[in-house]
């Protein structure tokens, strides 16, 4: 097991090294002079050269790369000479000395991501301030996707081939196909603008949905899933009638639908189009505003929700076809006991696998969502830094996201190795 863990850690370090190299190469070929950008257009040549030397921009690309690797590496070599390029500056590094040979020192330290070109703050401090907002958003989106995804997956599996099955799969595929930035714009516009205070909806789909609910109760289909199915059928029928009637009026000037102008006024969401985890009140100061999390959380969770629905449905259908579930039914267990106490436990393994990877990817995918909702997190910080050519912040943020991917994948691989010894052999 120790060899297996060391191998996975080694692969992870190789991935991080590749990410560092790729990111450094991309931002090194970017046109422009960071020193001139820092000092402004009126800076003299001497001041620019001084800053270029301080940032090691006067060195060849290979030496700049070696210095950057030395800075971000947790184990690095430094010099005790103040004039050296690798001087062990206590203001930069938080370190523990391992070995000293003359003027060369081997240390263990926290990665030094350098300083922002714009604010002059250390990049690690900027990321530490922005990361909690993104983590809160990602965790909320994961819980949203898990709760509703598993619920819908169970419903579609138990009612395979029925209307609710096809409707859920259609909406899941639609949600997975929509780009994050498009979903963010639509959801912020509807939930934070159109429906913020109140909303006016046509009465016909709502009335037909209630009629569908009445039909399910009249037919004594008291299971909640049957009631939901008839509600959806009624609402969709009402929307279809409105669309066909609108086309009829437009093309033939014929209105066959009575009361099509009747609308119902419903309460709004009370949410704004933008917001962050903390708001400021002029009297009480900063306070936690969890309501602001709802719309961006839903937006970020739509795509993993669609995947969880499909994975849960397929895995549960496979488990329900196995011998042990048939035996449980033969013993007289209720359908709920067979599904939730036996089959669902085994069906959740692929869901856990998918979610472990999705959590890390959400840190990267939150860029568009945070920009649209003006959510103060790592994604918005990356976007603003790219606008300002603040490359140390962008590079540090990319490395943090890549490290999250690697750490989570290593953790999941180790768990698999503990649960299934066959994994260690491969």
Domains and CATH numbers, the chain: 2-109 (no CATH), 122-197+296-426 (1.10.3720.10), 199-267 (no CATH)
pLDDT in tens, 229-241: 788 888 888 888 8
Task: Tell which wins on pLDDT, 72 or 119.
Answer: 72
The pLDDT of residue 6 is 81
Alpha-carbon torsion, ordered 159, 164, 167, 171, to 10 deg: -80
pLDDT in tens, 239-256: 888 888 888 888 888 787
- Cα end-to-end distance, the chain, whole Å: 12
Residue 423 has pLDDT above 60, yes or no: no
The pLDDT of residue 126 is 92
Rounded to a whole number, what is the largest CA-CA distance in the chain? Answer: 95
For the four alpha carbons of 255, 257, 258 and 264, in that order, the dihedral sign comes to negative
pTM: 0.81
- Tokens representing 212 are 């569908």
For the four alpha carbons of 274, 275, 276 and 277, in that order, the dihedral sign comes to negative
Half-sphere exposure for 233 (CA within 13 Å, toward CB):
17
pLDDT in tens, 90-145: 888 888 888 888 888 898 988 888 888 878 888 989 999 888 888 889 889 989 98
- What is the C-alpha separation between 310 and 387, in angstroms, rounded? 38
pLDDT in tens, 265-298: 888 888 888 888 888 877 888 888 888 899 999 9
The pLDDT of residue 417 is 67
Task: Tell which wins on pLDDT, 391 or 297.
Answer: 297
How far is CA 407 from its chain centroid? 16
- What is the C-alpha separation between 334 and 300, in angstroms, rounded? 36
pLDDT in tens, 311-342: 888 888 888 888 888 888 788 877 777 887 77
- What is the C-alpha separation between 238 and 232, in angstroms, rounded? 10
Residues whose CB is less than 8 angstroms from the CB of residue 299 and which lie 6 or more positions away in sequence, other chains included: 180, 183, 184, 187, 188, 369, 372, 373
Contact (CB, 8 A) for 118 and 388:
yes
């Amino acid at each position: 097991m120790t060899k297996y863990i060391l191998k996975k850690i080694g692969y992870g370090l190789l991935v991080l090294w590749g990410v560092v190299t790729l990111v450094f190469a991309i931002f090194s070929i970017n046109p422009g002079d960071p020193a001139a950008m820092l000092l402004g257009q009126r800076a003299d040549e001497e001041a620019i050269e001084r800053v270029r030397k301080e940032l090691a921009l006067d060195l060849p690309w290979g030496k700049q790369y070696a210095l950057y690797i030395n800075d971000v590496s947790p184990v690095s070599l430094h010099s005790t000479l103040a004039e050296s390029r690798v001087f062990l500056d206590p203001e930069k590094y938080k370190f523990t000395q391992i070995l000293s040979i003359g003027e060369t020192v081997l240390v263990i330290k926290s990665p030094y991501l350098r300083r922002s070109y714009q604010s002059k703050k250390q990049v690690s401090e900027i990321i530490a301030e922005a990361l909690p907002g993104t983590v809160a958003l990602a965790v909320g989106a994961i819980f949203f996707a898990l709760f509703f995804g598993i619920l819908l997956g169970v419903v579609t599996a138990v009612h395979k081939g029925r209307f609710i099955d096809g409707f859920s799969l259609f909406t899941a595929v639609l949600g997975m196909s929509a780009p994050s930035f498009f979903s963010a714009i639509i959801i912020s516009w509807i939930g934070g603008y159109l429906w913020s205070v109140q909303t006016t909806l046509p009465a016909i789909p709502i009335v037909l949905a209630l009629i569908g609910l009445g039909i399910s109760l009249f037919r004594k289909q008291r299971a909640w899933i049957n009631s939901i199915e008839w509600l959806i059928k009624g609402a969709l029928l009402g929307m279809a009638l409105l669309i066909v009637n609108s086309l009829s009026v437009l093309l033939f000037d014929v209105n066959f639908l009575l009361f099509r102008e009747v609308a119902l006024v419903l309460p709004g969401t009370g949410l704004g189009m933008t917001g962050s985890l903390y708001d400021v009140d002029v009297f009480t100061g900063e306070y936690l505003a969890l309501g602001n999390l709802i719309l961006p959380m839903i937006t970020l969770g739509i795509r993993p929700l669609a995947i969880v629905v499909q994975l849960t449905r397929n895995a549960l259908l496979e488990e329900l076809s196995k011998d042990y579930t048939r035996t449980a039914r033969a013993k007289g267990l209720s359908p709920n006991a067979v599904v939730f106490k036996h089959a669902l436990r085994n069906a959740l393994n692929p869901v856990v696998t998918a979610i472990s990877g999705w959590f890390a990817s959400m840190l990267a995918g939150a860029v568009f969502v945070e920009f649209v909702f003006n959510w103060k997190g790592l994604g918005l910080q990356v976007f603003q830094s790219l606008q300002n050519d603040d490359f140390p912040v962008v590079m540090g943020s990319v490395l943090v996201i890549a490290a999250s991917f690697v750490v989570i994948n290593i953790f999941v691989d180790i768990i698999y190795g503990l649960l299934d010894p066959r994994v260690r052999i491969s």
